[in-house]
Amino acid sequence: MTITSPHLGSPSSDWTDARLLFALEEVVETELNRHLKVAKDWMPHEYVPWSDARNFPGIFEDGEAWDKEQSKVTELGRIALVVNLLTEDNLPSYHHEIASLFGRDGAWGTWVHRWTAEEGRHGIVMRDYLLASRAVDPDKLEAFRMQHMSEGFESDNRHSMLHSVAYVAFQELATRVSHRNTGHQSGDPVCDRMLARIATDENLHMVFYRNLLKAAFELAPDLTMQAVRDVIVQFRMPGHGMPGFERAAAQMAIGEVYNMRIHHDDVLMPVLRHLKVLQIDGLGPEGLKAQEELGLYMGGLDAEAAKFDEKLAARKARMAARAAAV
């Protein structure tokens, strides 16, 4: 990708959020046009098993109370689906964050609104699926939604447009992986197809931001390297503040929906390899320091993931032994 900008090669001290936004506008327009050509519109209602739906108690006299045995979805799938949906539910806060950082005008603004509209489909189809298939307790789901959204969301990277671009390049891929693995673990082919459709969108969003991050490296390599280091070292999924997140995350880790190994191998490394982040040369002192620290962190994360792998394998062996003894 070739970038023409009066700021190309400018010292790090010359770059502000405003200058970067202006310098990247042409890239955003190119990526937006590419996205619109490859993205396919789809109908959320076509992925919902409406024939499985029936009334819940309330205003309907024939309402049937929820019971987990009514659904094909596994317990792990149920947990992960709730986490994924509650994450999507905070879309108004996410929109506010990126609209404040990227603006509402020009190509940036067009992307912000398009991204929001596409993400809105995900929450719609997931909630409709969960209620129609009776995969979750509807009362608890609504209580969790109210609690989560009432607390709002503030990004760890709201102080910097560059940090925000770096974060979403990884976070969109993390979301794609989480949705895809949830589908595989759900036990329901209908759920798997729905989440595969969502994951396709998330992958396109990742590509948009990854290409934008590539352009940022060409413009301001030192600052971009520092942003990538900060984001990876401090990475948290946007749903971290939801009710019961820590317990749900632990169960998802054990169930191999999302854990340290997946985070390292399937989320961080693919983006780092694609952009050749750890091989970039010609950096200044601060950029080189950030690159070295990033390399050390990734090595440490891989070692921690290896320890987790060992514990997970030992747990599986114990469970297999118990099952064989029955």
Give the helix ranges, DSSP H, for the chain. Answer: 17-38, 75-89, 91-102, 106-132, 138-151, 161-185, 189-219, 221-233, 245-254, 260-262, 269-275, 285-325
Q: Is 148 annotated as a binding residue?
A: no
CB atoms within 10 A of CB 311: 10
Q: Is 163 annotated as a binding residue?
A: no
HSE at residue 12, side-chain half, CA atoms within 13 A, is: 14
* Cβ contacts of 316-324, under 8 Å, gap ≥ 24: none
Q: Is 96 annotated as a binding residue?
A: no
Q: Is 88 annotated as a binding residue?
A: yes
DSSP letter for 264, please.
I
CB atoms within 10 A of CB 117: 12
Q: Are 196 and 56 in contact (CB under 8 A)?
A: no
Q: Is 293 annotated as a binding residue?
A: no
Q: Is 274 annotated as a binding residue?
A: no
Alpha-carbon gap, residue 84 to 244, rounded angstroms: 13
Known binding residues are 88, 119, 122, 172, 202, 205
Known binding residues for Fe cation are 88, 119, 122, 172, 202, 205
